[in-house]
Amino acid sequence: MNVAITMKDSADLIAACLFLVGVSLSMANRLTTGAGVKPKPRVILLSYLGVIVSLAIIALLVFLSVMPRFYTSGQGATAIDSTVQWISIVFSVAAALICLRIYCVSRQDFSGWYALGLMLFALALFFGSQSSVDSVLSWLGRITQFISGIYLLIAVVGSLRPARAKE
């Protein structure tokens, strides 16, 4: 159980960090250039590769018992698990608020859907942090996280449509 919880919460933290960095860079690009700048495919590929490598390293460290325990049988979540969860929630809320600010300025559909997806992601993390693994609230968090993925997918698919129309 500790391995699964450590992997999930670590992946949530990495996702929240990447969301925050992504929308922060987008906001900085909009402030300096006046419009959004698309990243190069190489940067995107390296980012995905970095996430995969990070999760592989975390998995290895968990299996080697190097990482501190996130969950103890009979006692539940540890303090480090709660800390990681709350940092993830704060980063996700910050990313959602920055993205909402971008939407208020640009009124682009992508930013609106993305902000909604990030808000739902933060809500899913909150639900997950407030419950045990098999509780109804935990399942509500999982469903909310699934729906946030749908919103984020709608944002991406919607942003590709205008790009294809220009070609």
Residue 122 lies in a domain: yes
Q: Domain limits at 104?
A: 2-160
Would you give the DSSP letter of residue 66?
-
Please state, as a whole number, how many other Cβ atoms lie within 10 Å of the Cβ of residue 108. 16
Would you give the DSSP letter of residue 72?
E
Task: Spell out where 1-99 has E strands.
Answer: 71-72, 76-77
Residue 166 lies in a domain: no
Residue 25 lies in a domain: yes
Looking at residue 91, its pLDDT comes to 94
Tokens 């997806």 sit at which residue?
Answer: 117
Q: How far apart are CA 114 and CA 10, in angstroms?
A: 22
Residue 29 lies in a domain: yes
Residue 75 lies in a domain: yes
Q: How far apart are CA 104 and CA 95, in angstroms?
A: 14
The pLDDT tens digits of the residues spanning 91-132 come to 999 999 988 888 888 887 888 888 899 999 999 989 888 877
Residue 165 lies in a domain: no
Residue 113 lies in a domain: yes
Q: What is the pTM of this model?
A: 0.78
Residue 38 above 80 pLDDT? no
Residue 21 lies in a domain: yes
- Burial level of 161, CB count in 10 A (0-12/13-18/19+)? exposed
Please report how the helices 109-129 and 79-106 are oriented relative to each other, as an axis angle in degrees rounded to 10. Answer: 160
**Strand-pair partners of 71:** 77
State the total domains in the chain: 1
Least Cα distance to 88 among 141, 159, 26, 30 occurs for 141
Least Cα distance to 102 among 29, 10, 40, 1 occurs for 29
The pLDDT tens digits of the residues spanning 44-75 come to 788 778 888 888 888 888 888 888 777 777 77
